[in-house]
Each structure stands twice: as C-alpha cells, then as structure tokens.
Amino acid sequence: MEEIGQTEFICPSDTFLGIIKGKCKTTLIVLIKKGRNRYGEMCRTLPTISPRMISKQLDELERDGIIERHSFAELPPRVEYTLSDYGETLYPIIREIRKWGYMHQARTK
C-alpha cells in the first residue's frame, strides 16, 4: 500500500483545486480555449456571473500562470486572454471533469 501521510494526501489535490476552485474558473478556461477570449464576450456569454467576478477570476488565473493577458492600446481598448503552456496541462483534466458532469448531472438533483 502507498505511504499514507497528511502531506501526501492533501497537497496534491489542493495544487489543482486551489487553482480551479472559484466561481467559474473552469468555465473561463474553456471559453478562452475555444477562442471566446475577450472580457466583454465572456461577460455576455455568462450573464449570471457578475463582471466583477469574471474580472477577479481572470486576475487570479493570470497570477497563477494559467492564462496570459494581452492588452492592445487601441480605441476602443481590447484585451484578449490566452491559455499559457502551463494552463494547457490542466485542460485535459477539465475536459474529464466536464465529461463526467455531462454523464452524471441528471443524478445531482
């Protein structure tokens, strides 16, 4: 049997969950991955999430190195987000999570 200790148990899960927990981070990652990567666009796609929250979640994802922010000095201003190489590594897992969700969402409620 594998070694069982507190550190081994908690840390690995929290590395991932600490990054993608939060109101709508997986959703934002998927949107960006699909090219729907501008702030206003995301707000319109997710009308039930407040712009403040979308902004905050994008900030945190950028801080964690998952996404990159590209700001264009135009009028009107434009900002696009892209997945970083690091962010790409967790995308397959998000797909798995979403696939599981599709299969089992009937069960929850």
Q: Which residues bind DNA (CB under 7 A)?
A: 22-23, 38-41, 48-53, 55-56, 58-59, 69, 76-79
Q: In the set 9, 56, 72, 78, which binds a copy of itself (CB under 8 A)? A: 9
Distance of CA 77 to the CA centre of its chain: 23
Q: From a copy of itself, DNA, none, which one binds at residue 78 (CB under 5 to 8 Å depending on kind)?
A: DNA
Of residues 28-47, those binding a copy of itself (CB under 8 A):
30-31, 34-36, 45-47
Residue 92 exposure: Cα atoms within 13 Å on the Cβ side:
3
Tokens of 19: 């990054």
- The conformation of residue 38, written as its DSSP 8-state character, comes to B
